[in-house]
A and B are shown apart, each in its own frame.
Chain A
Amino acid sequence: MKHMIQAQGLSKRYGEKLAVDGLTFTVQPGKVTGFLGPNGAGKSTTMRMIMGLDAPSAGSVTVNGKPYAEHARPLAEVGALLEAKAIHTSRSAYNHLRALAATHGISQHRVSEVVEMVGLRDVARKRAGGFSLGMGQRLGIASALLGDPATVILDEPVNGLDPEGVRWVRDLLRSWAAEGRTVFLSSHLMSEMAVTADHVIVVGQGRLIANMPIQELIGSASVDRVRVRTPDAARLREVLARPDVTVSSSQADVLDVHGMPVEQIGQLALDNAILLYELTPQLASLEEAYMDMTRDAVEYHASTPARDRSAA
């Protein structure tokens, strides 16, 4: 139970604005945990508090049982990619990594190893200021890897990477989780998160909205959409017509039906002697599930000031 991230009532206030509002969650080892939320939801601030860069206004967060700063070998506990290019632009990638490695007595051999691992060998001696966004991300990942950490935190790691790079990061994260490391990442790319993460923590306006396995999140979304394939699409469309039912069609013999349960569609088809080739309830995508959830969060938040006033 030691190798994990634990946040307890974690809050951060910037002036009037509560950027992070009482977050309590645990990120567990052995799986990839996604951190989702709209822009300004407090994801980056939360990650910076985990790394001890920002001090919480209230609450606490520990990594592997202690606040990050209290570890004797911080880089062996947590490797973090917080922003691309947390690097002096006039220094070479190799010297940047060498300087970070020196704080923990990490060998030059390891520095060359991580440079090789992220595919920066050819440019490692050049000024990092000339790096593309993708190269900057690779360098950030290299510095996160230096201390062979038990926990890895990545803020938008695939930002700016080409498709091959995206795939590389995904495989890397999966393999770390398989090795038993704690992997915590934020991303705006829902499709990417859907294939990478096992578990998701969703925040909105600084508050925890959901903390559940990704399959559960997808299952929780209410999409009553049914795909129907029939040679008699035109007649079925007439039969299904209701004020609260929408029917769309992407192919001649396929209908997408919103707002009617699959049983009722089947019954209506039978009653009207319409032949069906396919009748499939559709699952929500992670994106739909996420939109569903954060929309609720916005509504919930619209009502919070009133609640705060009554409490005061």
Chain B
Amino acid sequence: MTTATIAAHEAPENRTRVVAVQPVTQGRAIVSEWIKFSTLRSTWITLILSMVGTIGIGALASWGTNSRWSHMGPVEIAQFSAVSRSLFGVNLAQLAVGVLGVLIISGEYATGMIRATLSAVPKRLPVLWAKLTVFSSVMFVSSLIAAVIAFFLGQALLSSHGVGLGSPHAIRAIVGVALYLTVIGVLAMGIGFAVRSTAGGISAVFGLILVVPALGNALPSSWQPHVLPYLPSNAGSALFTLHGDPGSLGPWTGFLVMCIWAAAAVAAGGLLLMRRDA
């Protein structure tokens, strides 16, 4: 009996490992998050929805403008940018991207998956970086593809009114749309990590990119120039808006301001991820 007990106690030290197990690394966490991302049908549906939004609405807006061209007044024509019009769909696409950014983490909390995730990667922060890497890469590539398609569709529909890669800032606007949607996604994911619930997260994202700018218009007009251009969606859209309001930020300044918003959301999400019980 004594011998048996001792043998049993010593066994774990000598137990030969038949299963090869490597240490957890940031790279392995990224592979894991990619598997998670790519094996949910809802991910792909939302992603395709955002691309259809960019392409479809852009084409629709371009077609509508073309058929209406002869009725447009001189002021309207002066403010018209064929490039912006063909990329108009970004306004719809950002909603799908915002939802996806929240869902990527809130879905784990809703289903209990988060406990499996954090048991496998108990240091936690690598999970956030991995999700960020996977999601922002996918967002950038898919948005860029959608923006390029939307641009060329728009060009076909508006060719007589000045769209072409050579037209001023066309490249910046196309890449800008992809960057804008990517950062909206990152912002949404940061909020998702902080809020944890799907409904709460989506409300917060939509509130920040849609409702707050609208409410901002109710501010005293002397305040508006100091507030409105710095809201994330207003600041970021400077990147692809070619005839912006006089008060809006420059394209790269605007983008930087938007990135600061996203970084703040990710920092808050990361801090809460480390602090709270799962």
Contact = CB atoms under 8 A, between A and B. Distances in A.
Are A and B subunits of one complex? yes
Nearest to A76: B21
A178 B8 CA distance: 7
Interface stretch (B104-112, B189-197, B236-244, B257-265): B104-112
Interface in B1-51: 5, 7-13, 15, 17-24, 28-29, 31-33, 35-36, 39-42
B15 A53 contact: no
Contacts of A105: 20-22, 28
A248 B29 CA distance: 64
A180 to B, nearest CB: 3
Max count, chain B CB within 10 A of own CB: residue among A48, A71, A85, A88: A88
Nearest to B12: A3
Interface residues of B, number: 45
B168 interface: no
A204 B9 CA distance: 29
A98 B116 CA distance: 12
Interface of B is mostly: helix
A148 B19 contact: yes
A52 B10 CA distance: 26
A106 interface: yes
9 contacts: A3-B13, A30-B5, A30-B9, A51-B122, A73-B24, A75-B119, A95-B35, A103-B32, A103-B121
B39 A74 contact: no
Contacts of A28: 9
A54 B122 contact: no
Nearest to A84: B112
Contact of A74 (B41, B112, B122): B122
B120 A104 contact: yes
Contact of B18 (A2, A75, A148): A148
A147 B17 CA distance: 10
Contact of B122 (A52, A92, A147): A52
A52 B24 CA distance: 16
Contacts of A88: 36, 40, 107-108, 111, 113
A100 B122 contact: no
A297 interface: no
Contact of A143 (B21, B29, B42, B116): B116
B215 interface: no
Contacts of A216: none
B123 interface: yes
A143 B36 CA distance: 15
A192 interface: no
Given A74-B119, A76-B19, A180-B9, 10 more contacts: A3-B12, A53-B118, A74-B24, A102-B28, A103-B28, A147-B19, A148-B19, A150-B12, A178-B8, A182-B12
Contact of B23 (A3, A29, A68, A72): A72
A55 B35 contact: no
Interface of A: 2-3, 28-31, 48, 51-55, 68-69, 71-76, 80, 82-83, 85-92, 95-96, 98-100, 102-107, 110, 143, 146-148, 150, 177-182
A99 B21 contact: no
Contact of A99 (B5, B15, B36, B112): B36
Contact of B11 (A51, A99, A143, A179): A179
A102 B32 contact: yes
B78 interface: no
Contacts of A180: 7-12, 15
Contact of A87 (B17, B29, B41, B116): B116
A83 B115 contact: yes
Max count, chain B CB within 10 A of own CB: residue among A3, A53, A102, A181: A102
B159 to A, nearest CB: 43
Nearest to B32: A102
B278 interface: yes
A227 B206 CA distance: 73
B245 interface: no
B76 interface: no
A63 B36 CA distance: 28
Contacts of A103: 24, 28-29, 31-32, 120-121
Contacts of B108: 88
B119 A51 contact: yes
A68 B123 CA distance: 9
Contacts of A95: 35-36, 39
A206 B10 CA distance: 32
